[in-house]
Amino acid sequence: MMRSENKILLLTGSSSGIGWQICQSVSNDFTLFAGVKNEEQAEKIRSLGRENVIPIQLDVRNSGQISAALEEISERGGGKLYAIINCAVVAHSGPIEWIPKEQLEDQFDTNLFGPIELVQKAIPLLVKEKGSRIIFMGSMAGVFTKPLTLPYSMTKFSLEALVDGLRIELKTQGIYTSLITPSNSPTPIWDKSLVQGRKLLSTKTAAQRAPYSFILDRMESFSIRGTDKGIPPQKIAEGILKVIRRAKPPIRKRIGISSNWMYFVSLFLPYSMRDWIIMRRMKKAKKD
């Protein structure tokens, strides 16, 4: 049952990774509407046994579901919404030469266009709640691009631009905008990305794979090594919830040491040095 005094949060990508940790960690003085794609995910949310965490049908690629979810939240939350936390994400991997158009479209629909449409339609609810805020999940891939993950990086670079402009556009309406950029974390997105990448690779001949042999041989080890040694999703979720509670949330918040030094690298190192760092890390990943 919703408590009328609770502030209302809307979370996308609730069933796994960082979103799932938020569902477990959010305090009882918030009511969290947890976006799910299907009944299986909804049942997973309900299994937490938390009255203030409510599953709601929301695939950000589906315009109808976005509208229906916001209408339900408006009806149940008194026409107000305190925060949107955008955690829905996908990462298609492989050489850009091979990525089908439909996968590129899915990449942008999930990571960029869907969240933008959600924000557009939610603004009338957000303006009714003092101190409301929109939180986007950034990535080190938004400042530093690795081979075989170009589609993912393109969406994360776009989010950097979106947050820069959106925070100014919404300032006079009293809506804050924040970008949370964590270090690598062992979330299911990368397991799914590796499975998809292997499937794509299996459709190519040896001759097609040859020009990319160096990065293909090392990229899987590189990805696994990065997430295995990453920070726990729980720590990222805690950082997001702290931003939710702050009276004036930060424009940008980086979580984890590597997110800070990668940002420094992106700003000050020449491209030749950045390329050398990537290749060196890939070689080390293969040896490990």
pLDDT at 260: 67
pLDDT for residue 185: 78
122-140 pLDDT, tens digit per residue, is 999 999 999 999 999 999 8
The answer to whether residue 210 is domain-embedded is no
**Within-domain flag for 130:** yes
Q: Is residue 223 part of a domain?
A: no
Matching residue, tokens 């590189």: 222
Residue 227 lies in a domain: no
**How high is the pLDDT of residue 256?**
80
User: What stretches in the chain show pLDDT beneath 50?
Assistant: none
CA angle in degrees (0–180, nearest 5) for 212-268-283: 30
**pLDDT of the residue at 223:** 57
Q: Is residue 189 part of a domain?
A: yes
Q: Domain range for residue 256?
A: 7-203+232-269
The helix/strand count (H/E) of the chain reads as 12, 7
Quote the pLDDT of residue 246: 95
CA angle, 60 as apex, 84 and 155 as ends, to 5°? 85
In a domain? residue 218: no
**Predicted model pTM:** 0.88
What integer best gives the mean pLDDT of the chain?
88
- Residues making up the chain, counted from first to last: 288
Domain count, the chain: 1
pLDDT of 5: 74
Burial 164-203 (b: 16+ CB within 10 A, else e): eebbeebeeeebbbbbbbbbbbbbebbeebbebbeebbee
Report the alpha-carbon distance of residue 240 to residue 254 in Å, rounded.
Answer: 10
Backbone dihedral region for residue 36 (phi beyond 0: left; psi -120 to 50: alpha; all else: beta):
beta
pLDDT tens for each residue of 149-173 = 899 999 999 999 999 999 999 999 9
245 located within any domain? yes
Answer yes or no: is 176 within a domain.
Answer: yes
Taking the C-alpha atoms of residue 168 and residue 97, their distance in angstroms, rounded to an integer, is 37
Contact between residue 70 and residue 121 where contact means Cβ atoms under 8 Å apart: yes
CATH code at 242? Answer: 3.40.50.720
The pLDDT value recorded for residue 286 is 54
Structure tokens at 218: 């090392």
Question: Closest by alpha carbon to 19, among 6, 1, 32?
Answer: 32
pLDDT number for residue 145: 83
pLDDT at 79: 94
> What type of residue is 188?
P
